[in-house]
C-alpha cells in the first residue's frame, strides 16, 4: 500500500520530515505537490467552488487544500493497490502502528474510509467495533470528526469521491468526516482506535523542528474568524454546547453502546 503525502513545494522542512519517517518505517511513500492557494487561478476557484457551503464560502486556500486531496484520490484510483493512505505533511506516524501503512491486507472487507489519526477531541463512535490485531479497533464514525491529516481509502471509494467532487462547497475534512453534513454518509467510514497518527497542531508533543513553523496544510484549512458580537455569542454558548454533547453522547453509549471520548495515539 502506498502512502501519498501532500506537501507544498516550498515546505522543504516538512518534506524532509515526512521522508525521514517513510525511510525509518519502510513505507512506500509518494510525495504529491500540493495545490498552492496563493497561485490558484481565480477562474478555477470560481468553477470549483461556485456557491457557499453550510457555514461559509470556501477561501481559495481552503479550495486548494481540497484540490490537493483530490490529487491523492486520483493517484489511488489510478493505482493497482486496493487501498492507499493519504497523509498531510505534518503527521507523526507511530512506531507501533506504522506497519498498518505498509500493506492493506488487514483492512476488513467493505471498509471505504479509515481515519487513522486522532483529532484530540471527544467524538462519538457507533458499535459494533471491528477488532484489528490485538490492540486496535475500528468504529463507525457517528459525530463530527473533522481533520484530514491521515486516512486510508479503498480504490473504489477514491473513484467515488472524485466523481462527486468536481465542484464542492465545504471544507475537505467536513466533507469526509462530518455525518451531520451528510456528504459521505453512504460510505463505510471508520475511526481507528487507538490511532497511529497525529498532526503537530493537535499534539502536545513537539516532534517537528521549531523553524518549520506552522503546518502549511493547516494554514490552507484556515477559515474566516468570527469577530465582534458573533464571536462573543459563540464564546458564551460554547461551554453549554460542549456540556450538552457530553451528556447526550454519554447517555447514548450507556443505552445503545459505542464509544465517546478522545482517541489516543499509539
Question: pLDDT tens digits, residue range 39-82?
Answer: 999 999 999 999 999 999 999 999 999 999 999 999 999 999 99
Domain coverage including residue 201: 2-226
Question: pLDDT tens digits, residue range 179-234?
Answer: 999 999 999 999 999 999 999 999 988 888 765 645 444 544 444 444 566 555 45
Q: Does any domain span residue 256?
A: no
Q: Does any domain span residue 13?
A: yes
What is the reported pTM?
0.89
Radius of gyration of the chain (CA): 18
Question: Among candidates 147, 173, 179, 4, which has minimal Cα distance to 75?
Answer: 4
Scan for cell 506497519, then name that residue: 99
Q: Does any domain span residue 231?
A: no
Q: Does any domain span residue 129?
A: yes
Q: Does any domain span residue 242?
A: no
Q: Determine the Cα–Cα distance for residues 167 and 162; give it in Å rounded to an integer.
A: 10
Q: What CATH number is associated with residue 154?
A: 3.90.550
CB-based contact 68:39 (threshold 8 Å)? no
Q: Does any domain span residue 115?
A: yes
Question: Among candidates 27, 44, 23, which has minimal Cα distance to 35?
Answer: 44
State the total domains in the chain. 1
Measured between its terminal Cα atoms, the distance across the chain in Å is: 20
Q: Does any domain span residue 253?
A: no
Q: Does any domain span residue 79?
A: yes
Q: Determine the Cα–Cα distance for residues 112 and 83; give it in Å rounded to an integer.
A: 9
Amino acid at each position: 500500500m502506498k502512502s501519498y503525502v501532500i506537501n507544498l513545494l516550498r515546505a522543504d522542512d516538512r518534506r524532509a520530515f515526512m521522508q525521514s519517517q517513510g525511510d525509518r518505517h519502510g513505507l512506500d511513500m509518494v510525495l504529491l505537490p500540493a495545490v498552492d492557494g496563493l497561485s490558484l487561478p481565480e477562474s478555477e476557484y470560481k468553477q470549483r467552488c461556485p456557491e457557499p457551503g453550510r457555514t461559509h464560502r470556501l477561501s481559495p486556500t481552503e479550495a486548494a487544500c481540497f484540490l490537493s486531496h483530490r490529487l491523492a484520490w486520483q493517484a489511488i484510483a489510478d493505482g493497482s493497490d486496493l487501498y492507499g493512505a493519504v497523509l498531510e505533511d505534518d503527521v507523526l506516524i507511530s512506531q507501533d502502528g506504522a506497519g498498518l501503512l505498509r500493506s492493506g491486507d488487514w483492512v476488513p472487507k467493505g471498509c471505504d474510509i479509515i481515519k487513522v489519526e486522532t483529532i484530540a477531541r471527544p467524538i462519538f463512535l457507533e458499535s459494533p467495533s471491528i477488532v484489528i490485531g490485538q490492540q486496535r479497533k475500528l468504529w463507525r464514525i457517528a459525530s463530527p470528526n473533522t481533520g484530514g491529516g491521515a486516512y486510508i481509502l479503498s480504490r473504489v471509494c477514491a473513484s467515488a469521491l472524485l466523481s462527486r467532487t468536481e465542484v464542492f462547497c465545504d471544507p475537505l475534512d467536513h466533507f469526509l468526516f462530518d455525518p451531520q453534513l451528510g456528504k459521505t454518509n453512504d460510505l463505510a467510514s471508520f475511526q481507528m482506535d487507538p490511532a497511529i497518527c497525529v498532526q503537530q497542531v493537535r499534539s502536545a508533543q513537539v516532534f517537528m523542528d521549531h523553524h518549520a513553523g506552522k503546518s502549511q496544510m493547516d494554514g490552507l484549512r484556515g477559515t474566516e474568524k468570527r469577530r465582534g458580537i458573533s464571536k462573543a455569542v459563540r464564546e458564551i454558548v460554547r461551554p453549554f454546547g460542549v456540556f450538552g454533547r457530553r451528556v447526550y453522547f454519554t447517555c447514548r453509549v450507556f443505552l445503545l453502546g459505542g464509544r465517546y471520548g478522545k482517541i489516543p495515539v499509539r
